[in-house]
Amino acid sequence: MPTPIRHLVIAGGGAAGWMTAAMLSKLFPHHLQITLVESEEIGIVGVGEATIPPILLFNQALGIKEADFIQSTKGTFKLGIQFENWGQQGDKYMHAFGDIGKDLGLTSFHHFWLRAQQQGFTDSYWDYSPCYQAASRNKFAPLHQLPGTPFKQLSYAYHFDASLYAATLRRLSEQQGVKRIEGKIASVTQDQTSGDIQTLVMENGHVIQGDLFIDCSGFRALLAEQTLKTGYEDWSRWLPCNRALAVPSANRSAAVPYTRAIAHQAGWQWRIPLQHRTGNGVVYCSDFMDDESAQQHLLSNLEGDALAEPRPIRFTTGRRKMQWHKNCISLGLASGFLEPLESTSLHLIQSGIIRLAKLFPATTDYASQRDQYNRQSVTEFEQIRDFIILHYHQTQRDDSEFWRYCRTMSVPDSLTQKMELFRQSAVVQREQDDLFSEVAWQQVMLGQNLIPQQHHPLANQVPSEKLQQFMQDLKLIVTDIVDKLPSHQHSIEQLLVQRR
């Protein structure tokens, strides 16, 4: 007979474990007993310092005030990701958050911009992006409404110290009744009939029993893989980078409100500005660059002095074949890995938690919820995978073996169809639940020189002189919005003053 789900056990801390504990203890305060097991002797990867806008909703749901969050995590604001040297050497564009321009009727703004380009307009597509223009001028304000303009808000996210975020969430979780157990897991027991996980046995002999288990043990996947042998779907043929080195550096200038992703001969380098330091890392493929060269490249391209020794990270891009297998749900690095090119690492944890909360079972009769969770997880991972592959495949670089491989490699049919549709018609084929908006896809395609052969015929319905006026008016509105914004640094300082 099915039995009620009463005890949830989380194996592993870090951002994944404590995000899970904080949200589920908030949502099920009287229904669940939650225990989190972690060891201070086991390090966490903890390099997920850049996020995307849905993190605001997650923090709001937890009741975390923005000023408290920015102060406790040494956070800064983020308006987008600047990609350098991805299309060709010297190219630069941004995947900026929020809207660009204004749609007219059923016709997306970029069709009007393409038509204007054909008529001799030289304005960049990003001239019509408030977030890009603010980021490029190092300006920011947390504006959730832009009255009197065609733009809804200034969409933004955060840069922050992931280990400090985990500490913040731990305090919140323990206030909400989560029990933390310090120590290492020595073994895992399973039901002899069903194969479900029954208990975690600690090195000191303590036994922890649970109904549902969350695997937040990182790349080890102690429960999902080492115990349940779930299996892994390898995507390295499309995303060949398999190593990274991470190092913090001293700040030399005011933090900018955007992440930088700078392509190099065998991968790319990130630069993430925080209040107290800058997060840096180099991502590379060991088939095309050795570890020593990668470290030399990383250290020689820091803006400030290194504050620690570079920390190596090895990974295989892909996903766990079932992210909910038997009575175990894997989250974070235990569930799979997509390199942090589009800052989706923490978001995938967040979306997995929310998906689990919506499908959370009342009893152990949960096969349908488990199947639905896995279907949604597959779709989400594959959509993000395609978006990241696009950056590599849509390149014109011919200066290294790595980039020649990326240009000519076969890619998933789902991405090929999307690219060809845009090339022929400027239309973005986006599924309803795709994390990335049509504007996001447009920016990467246009930014990396995938230029459509034609625009939508509905864009021809506007007379040329009215189109010109429309474009000029929109650009003036964007300029006016950004002119009125304070500097990014001023907004951070004001927020911290308000908290005091």
Catalytic annotation, residues: 78
Beta bridge mates, 240: none
Tokens representing 300 are 């020689």
Cβ partners under 8 Å of residue 357, min gap 6: 23, 24, 27
Nearest to 438 by CA among 418, 420, 458, 417: 418
Contact 11, 184 (CB under 8 A): no
Burial class from Cβ neighbours inside 10 Å (0-12, 13-18, 19+) for residue 256 reads: buried
Query: Distance between the two ends of the chain, CA-based, in angstroms?
Result: 55
* 473 CB-side CA count, 13 A: 10
User: What is the C-alpha to C-alpha distance for residues 359 and 371, in angstroms, rounded to an integer?
Assistant: 10
Contact 320, 335 (CB under 8 A): yes
DSSP-based three-state secondary structure for 418: helix
Nearest to 24 by CA among 344, 350, 366: 350
The C-alpha angle 158, 336, 93, rounded to 5 degrees, equals: 45
C-alpha distances in angstroms, 398 versus 238, 448, 484?
18, 14, 43
User: What is the C-alpha to C-alpha distance for residues 128 and 250, in angstroms, rounded to an integer?
Assistant: 34
Contact 243, 315 (CB under 8 A): yes
The C-alpha angle 22, 343, 25, rounded to 5 degrees, equals: 5
Contact 270, 258 (CB under 8 A): no
Q: Cα-Cα-Cα-Cα dihedral of 114, 116, 117, 123, to 10°?
A: -110
Nearest to 137 by CA among 474, 483, 471: 483
User: What is the C-alpha to C-alpha distance for residues 393 and 388, in angstroms, rounded to an integer?
Assistant: 9
Nearest to 58 by CA among 110, 23, 87, 89: 23
